[in-house]
Chain A
Amino acid sequence: MKTIFQDSAKGRAGVWPKEPRGNTEADIPAHLLRSDPPRLPELSEIDVVRHFTRLSRLNYSVDSNFYPLGSCTMKYNPKFTEAVAAQPGFTSVHPLIPQLKGAGNMTQGALEVLYETEQLLGEITGMSAFTLQPMAGAHGELTGVMLMAAYHNDKGNKKTKIIVPDSAHGTNPASAAIAGYDVVSIASKDGMIDPDELEKVLDDEVAGLMMTCPNTLGLFECGLERIVKLIHGVDGLLYYDGANLNAIMGKMRVGDVGFDIVHLNLHKTFATPHGGGGPGSGPVGVSQRLVDYLPISRVVKLEDGQYFLDYDYPKSIGYIAPFYGNFGVILKAYAYILRLGREGIVRASENAVLAANYLRKRIEKHLEVPYDRICMHEFVASAARQAEKGVRALDIAKALLDKGHYAPTIYFPLIVKECLMFEPTETESKETLDGFVDDLIEILGRVESDAASIQNAPVTMPVQRLDEVRAARNMELVDDAGL
């Protein structure tokens, strides 16, 4: 499909704002102005509309396809939350209004949303307080590690290292490193953190441990209790990566277990859409001993029921976002939690785990499932057996696209060979899961008889397999049409 720049014709435009009446040239000296107009697209409105409508049709999405992408919790994004977030009473509010003296009463609705969402997330996770400012999961991780640093600095602890299991998301070690810590990786044993291994690397310089539970293999960490004791034993802090919270809501609260910091992914667990890569929202909850270090501002509720922004926290790590986080995303998650309520939240996790185990059980006859036990909300399979015949996890993923399904996550976690990671979520029907398995079986049935048809997949998509090496080498990252 042509790019929007290739479709442009000089002199056209989609939207025609009124002609300005002033004289810009008189207001701003010529040497401060640009010499040529930017070569932006020039199309009529209908052609812009057609261009993006056509582009949208080239995407798989939750609204159009089963999307079992492990670790990403691609559940249905309810439409009413979009309607809630689109209300002008929310979208038109300037974020600086409540920072004006005397105008604090003018954004009470927005502040109430923030405050109430913090309370609800606190109850679901058992954490003492939340900040909603982090704008994505990884941003929450960085915030969490900065909180760790503030805690240790305040106590005078000399801490230089953060421990990250080898099964962790890549964002964990990256977040720890950019916050200034050395990353110590520990090997998993039978898919779990091995507390003995942990004990070996533990010393007084350990600031904390970042873990995902259930872990990225979809398994509940059996050594959890001992791990908590070990880390707290060196005055380390326990970080919970909430990417997999959809497995345990209402079953276990991470605060009760002893975690000190948790980030959530509202765009996973709380059903806000992923937007083709974002915006997300990564609120961070902390235990009581870390509350003083949370970013400012914080939303406080007064006795008379009024909300206000409080900046008076001298130990705070400061500002990690310009304002209060991705408010529009937070609003959708708030509406979702209100809709589900006490029972619905638990039901979401129960049915997510039910669907994952059902899918695991149906798939295990056809693909090797290396950790053959009850899983949580996701599980990993291995195509190592098929790879010996020349059909790799990547090939199977591409063949699934031809069947109308998005692919599972592949080659992650790194500790399983030819890994495929499935996460069906609670919102997919049994028929959808069965249809997916039937299609997977049909593909795997061709490994012996017609491997080439899998290796060549996809053939029904807008493009076939793309040359990634060429993309990296040629670095064609911008269009040159119309220049």
Chain B
Amino acid sequence: MPFIPHTPDEQREMLATIGVDSIEALFEDIPKKFRAAELNLPEGLSEMEVRQKLEKTAAKNHTDLTSFLGAGFYDHYIPSAVDALCSRGEFYTAYTPYQAEASQGMLQAIFEYQTAVARLLDLQYANASLYDGGTALYEAIMMAVRHTKRSRIVISESLNPIYRVMLDSYTTNLKLDLVTVPHKDCHTDMEAMLAALNGDTAAVIVQNPNFFGTIQDFTALFDKARELGIVSIISTYPIMQAILKTPGRMGADIAVAEGQSLGLPLSFGGPYLGIMACNKQLIRQMPGRIAGRTVDKTGQTGFVLTLQAREQHIRREKATSNICSNQALCALRALMYMSLLGPKGLKKTAQTGIERAHYAANRLERLPGVRVINQPFGNEFTVRLPVRAYEVIDKLLDHKFVPGFPLGRYYEGMDNHLLVACTEKTTKQCIGIMAELIGGAL
């Protein structure tokens, strides 16, 4: 029997030890009226058959597309060593490291991951991971609400709209007031943001680079927030953080990010990685696991899960969050990715994406009626087309090109706007073809 080692003889011996004469007798507590009829499931398949079937299923996905889709989720090259190391069963078949002495590998890795994240984002502390960038943002808001005991949240409209709709869902039944400040030509409107802050505000949320790709400095906004006792939250893109002014330097209290770009495949939306870092004052509001360094009885260095008094298994309904399972293996991948690239490799990766995006912007701006909206930008930018973005995408799909994301999907009045992303995997040749195809589609 697949995955079940017992022979019929062994099953009989085990039943004899238990003192019943059939496996069925073990289920007698389930009332007769609740007993299930035979499940209407397909016959089991052999391993070979499952693999053949799912090879066919995979082949139904088009993987021969040349894509300029980003919108917060990017196609970066993943070094081979990441997969090789992460495939070790000692990592991926372990549980949450409750028994520290038998889990030092994972615990030290979490500690190293926390360190790498804190250094990348320039804040004191990081946790062991959350589900994704969107739920990390929701948890950041809840931290701010608990910390300030206020309920008003000011959000820039240039925050990823996927996250904004998630925040709407999560806060439906909570007595919170979410205030969205409109963007101004794809930039966070700094004056309007400053004007929106007041003494009732718990948190202010911005994104850098923002959803449209625009890079801005939020130091003045965060300074003002600090004066008013408001928690400053920034959502960011880890690869770009290799070169961009850091959340810490801008004065953010909490930085969150979607960690997918750090060595995780796009994988149709998950599993991804919710990154969270914060400053010292907020550490006890932090949700999720945190590893800490300590010593054993003999004075030898070791690692444990710590500050657990925040967590659900101790505090139950008074916990800072309900999170239990997180994205540990994804965090491990991110740590491996950052360790293999180092500061130089990460910087080069960021710079190459920026170089390609600027080349693409340049090529597109040569087309009649096409204008790049934001300045400055990194590896992603917004162009306004003389026609609807959907129409252009539709035409390019015939050539197996996805030229970007149509901003009209989330922003009223932006039907002609296209969000274009490049990474180190985007070739100049492909950019050239894409520009020609768009030219032909106008």
The 5 A-B residue pairs whose C-beta atoms are closest, nearest first, are A341-B44, A323-B269, A89-B58, A22-B355, A63-B89
Please tell me if the beta carbons of A353 and B116 are within 8 angstroms of each other in the complex: no
Other-chain residue from A53, A319, A354 in contact with B23 (beta carbon distance below 8 A): A354
Residues A120 and B41 in contact in the complex (CB < 8 Å), given A41-B338, A276-B94, A277-B97: yes
Please tell me if the beta carbons of B41 and A123 are within 8 angstroms of each other in the complex: yes
Other-chain residue from A252, A318, A346 in contact with B172 (beta carbon distance below 8 A): A318
Can you list 15 pairs linking A and B with CB atoms under 8 Å apart? A4-B112, A92-B63, A93-B63, A94-B268, A108-B60, A137-B324, A146-B172, A321-B134, A322-B134, A338-B54, A353-B27, A357-B18, A406-B99, A477-B114, A478-B124
Please tell me if the beta carbons of B124 and A38 are within 8 angstroms of each other in the complex: no
Please tell me if the beta carbons of A224 and B88 are within 8 angstroms of each other in the complex: no
Q: Does A366 contact B (CB under 8 A)?
A: no
Please tell me if the beta carbons of B300 and A136 are within 8 angstroms of each other in the complex: no
Please tell me if the beta carbons of B40 and A123 are within 8 angstroms of each other in the complex: yes
Q: For residue B347, which residue of chain A has the nearest CB?
A: A37
A434 to chain B, nearest CB (A): 10
Please tell me if the beta carbons of A72 and B95 are within 8 angstroms of each other in the complex: yes
Q: For residue B26, which residue of chain A has the nearest CB?
A: A353
A171 to B60, CA, bound (A): 38
A100-B397, A401-B102 known; 15 new pairs, CB 8 Å cut-off, are A24-B243, A34-B122, A34-B249, A48-B336, A48-B340, A56-B88, A60-B94, A61-B90, A249-B39, A320-B166, A323-B268, A346-B39, A374-B26, A470-B295, A471-B293
Q: Does B436 contact A (CB under 8 A)?
A: no
A89 to B349, CA, bound (A): 25
Q: Does A313 contact B (CB under 8 A)?
A: no
Question: B29-37, B148-156, B189-197: which one contacts chain A?
Answer: B29-37
A19 to B358, CA, bound (A): 16
B274 to chain A, nearest CB (A): 9
Q: For residue B376, which residue of chain A has the nearest CB?
A: A28
Q: Does A173 contact B (CB under 8 A)?
A: yes
Other-chain residue from B101, B342, B351, B402 in contact with A12 (beta carbon distance below 8 A): B342
A141 to B325, CA, bound (A): 12
Bitwise, A351-362 to B at CB < 8 A (1) or not (0) is: 101110110011
Other-chain residue from A45, A120, A466 in contact with B81 (beta carbon distance below 8 A): A45
Q: For residue A152, which residue of chain B has the nearest CB?
A: B173
Residues A103 and B61 in contact in the complex (CB < 8 Å), given A58-B104, A374-B29: no
Other-chain residue from A48, A339, A466 in contact with B304 (beta carbon distance below 8 A): A466
Q: Does A262 contact B (CB under 8 A)?
A: no
Please tell me if the beta carbons of A61 and B91 are within 8 angstroms of each other in the complex: yes
Question: A175-183, A229-237, A384-392, A445-453: which one contacts chain B?
Answer: A175-183
Question: B71-79, B177-185, B226-234, B363-371: which one contacts chain A?
Answer: B71-79
Q: Does B318 contact A (CB under 8 A)?
A: yes
Please tell me if the beta carbons of A96 and B71 are within 8 angstroms of each other in the complex: yes
Interface size class of B (residues with CB under 8 A): 35 or more
Please tell me if the beta carbons of A32 and B216 are within 8 angstroms of each other in the complex: yes
Query: Which residues of A from 90 to 120 have beta carbons under 8 Å from B?
Result: 90-97, 99-103, 106-110, 112-113, 120
Q: For residue B319, which residue of chain A has the nearest CB?
A: A174
Residues A32 and B18 in contact in the complex (CB < 8 Å), given A467-B294, A471-B306: no
Q: Does A427 contact B (CB under 8 A)?
A: yes
Residues A93 and B101 in contact in the complex (CB < 8 Å), given A251-B35, A429-B5, A477-B125: no
Q: Does A314 contact B (CB under 8 A)?
A: no
Chain A residues with Cβ under 8 A from B73's Cβ? 94-96, 322
Q: For residue B118, which residue of chain A has the nearest CB?
A: A478
Chain B residues with Cβ under 8 A from A320's Cβ? 166, 169-170
Please tell me if the beta carbons of A324 and B270 are within 8 angstroms of each other in the complex: yes
Q: For residue B273, which residue of chain A has the nearest CB?
A: A279
Chain A residues with Cβ under 8 A from B397's Cβ? 100, 102-103, 106
A69 to B98, CA, bound (A): 10
Residues A358 and B14 in contact in the complex (CB < 8 Å), given A135-B135, A401-B102, A464-B300: yes
Chain A residues with Cβ under 8 A from B91's Cβ? 56, 59, 61, 275-276
Q: For residue B324, which residue of chain A has the nearest CB?
A: A138
Q: Does B147 contact A (CB under 8 A)?
A: no
B438 to chain A, nearest CB (A): 15
Please tell me if the beta carbons of A106 and B242 are within 8 angstroms of each other in the complex: no
A213 to chain B, nearest CB (A): 10
Chain A residues with Cβ under 8 A from B106's Cβ? 55, 59, 276-277
Chain B residues with Cβ under 8 A from A465's Cβ? 101, 296-297
Question: A76-84, A195-203, A283-291: which one contacts chain B?
Answer: A76-84
Q: Does A435 contact B (CB under 8 A)?
A: no
